[in-house]
Amino acid sequence: MSDIVKRQGMFGANTTGDTSGYGRLVVPQPARESTPRPYGEYFDDVADELERSGFSDAIERVVVHRGEMTLHVRRERLLELARALRDEPTLRFELLSGVSGVHYPQETGSELHAVYHLLSITHNRRIRLEVGVPDADPHVDSLTPVYPTADWHERETWDFFGIIFDGHPALTRIEMPDDWVGHPQRKDYPLGGIPVEYRGAEIPPPDERRSYS
């Protein structure tokens, strides 16, 4: 990948809301484009098998970076692709070890991403699936019918990012209180809170702490 995208600040904030102390930090990131073949290692074998199985149109792009492979998947094909990754003997990704969310407010029409971490115990291989959904329609099929371990991970991703996993057996809060408003790991979630008293010291909420310019 030749192009580099630069992100400003620890959390990408470009206002005084970044209280991390990293407001002047510039983070170079690889551009979000497909990696050319050959990918190397076992990644080409995975890609070839998915093409043979008829999933070429299900994958928007493949990114191989720092020895890791990410398949960016169209959300309407996610469930059947996951089932093929689990059941195909040459693939056998039997375990989903985690689901996480990412918020890219600058990606119009694909602001929210769900990321799935898969492990093949049979072949000792790891890959990631990533699905982007618009903020206005944050729906994606739940992978609990294929990977039961997705249950609590999808709940946490909904709790913190607001991605709705259709077909999940009980998509409820898992970290935040049931009556909590909003999804606090989104980048547009306001910094704020309540002051905390610790051993006699008053610690103000984040939006009232010092800012860095």
Residue 191, helix vs strand vs coil: coil
**Residue written as token pair 């979000």:** 32
Residue 201 is predicted with a pLDDT of: 77
Tens of pLDDT along the chain (213 residues)? 345 556 655 555 555 555 555 555 666 665 567 899 999 999 999 999 999 999 999 999 999 988 999 999 999 999 999 999 999 999 999 999 999 999 998 889 999 999 999 999 999 999 999 999 999 999 999 999 999 999 999 999 999 999 999 999 999 999 998 988 889 899 888 766 666 677 777 777 666 666 555
- Close Cβ partners of 24 (under 8 Å, ≥ 6 residues apart): 9, 212
Residue 190 is predicted with a pLDDT of: 74
- From residue 88, how far is each of 63, 118, 122, 123, 141 by CA, in Å? 22, 14, 11, 12, 21
Query: Which domains does the chain show, CATH number per domain?
Result: 32-182 (3.30.460.80)
- The closest alpha carbon to 187, from 117, 101, 70, 116, belongs to 101
Report the distance separating Cα 213 and Cα 201, nearest Å: 26
- From residue 89, how far is each of 28, 120, 121, 122, 203 by CA, in Å? 39, 11, 12, 9, 56
Report the distance separating Cα 146 and Cα 136, nearest Å: 27
Largest Cα–Cα distance of the chain, in whole Å?
65
Residue 195 is predicted with a pLDDT of: 64
List, for residues 148-171, the tens digit of each pLDDT value: 999 999 999 999 999 999 999 999
Phi and psi (nearest 5°) for 202? -95, 120
Report the distance separating Cα 73 and Cα 113, nearest Å: 11
- Angle separating helix axes 78-87 and 43-52, nearest 10 degrees: 110
